[in-house]
Structure formats: structure tokens, C-alpha cells
Amino acid sequence: MLGRSSPVEYGPPATADRIDVRRALATLPLVQRQAVVLHHLLDPPVAEIAAELGRPVGTVQSRLSRAREALAQLLGEEVTIDA
């Protein structure tokens, strides 16, 4: 039987900062988490994310803004708006 005792990690090793970001992302509502991950990790334009999610551009922008604010509070960082 093939099985894993722990999840496989891909990419750079987990650092304290990465762990903090993962935990903070996990607290966001799914729709905000989707917008942040798509925008900041995959880097498509907001219009492309909106089309992929089937939502208006303004909705995606709002989700990104709310997610950034929540993450800033959770991580103790200043919010930077770039979209």
C-alpha cells in the first residue's frame, strides 16, 4: 500500500516567516484567500483573476484589499496597495 505519513513539501524550506504567512492565510475566508494566492503567487492581472473566478473586477479588488488588511493585522505589517 502506498501512503504518506506526512504531507510532501515542495519549494523552499519552511521558515518562521513562511509558517506565519501560511497560518495567517488559513484564517482568511476562502474567497479572500483565493484572490490573494492567485494575485500574489501566480501574478496574473486582476481582470484575469476576475474572469477565472467568474466575478466582477471590483469584487476581486475588494477581496484583495480586505485580505491585505487582515493579513497586515495578523502579521503586524503595514498594508501596501499595489493593485
Are 71 and 77 within 8 A, CB to CB? Answer: yes
Whether 72 is in a domain gets the answer yes
Per-residue confidence (pLDDT) for residue 17, from 0 to 100: 78
Whether 27 is in a domain gets the answer no
Mean pLDDT by 10 residues, the chain (83 residues): 57 78 92 94 94 96 95 78 48
Whether 11 is in a domain gets the answer no
Whether 55 is in a domain gets the answer yes
Per-residue confidence (pLDDT) for residue 54, from 0 to 100: 95
Range of the domain at 39: 32-83
Per-residue confidence (pLDDT) for residue 68, from 0 to 100: 92
Q: Which region, left, alpha or beta, applies to residue 31 given φ > 0 means left and ψ of -120 to 50 means alpha?
A: alpha
The number of distinct structural domains making up the chain is 1
Per-residue confidence (pLDDT) for residue 29, from 0 to 100: 96
Whether 51 is in a domain gets the answer yes
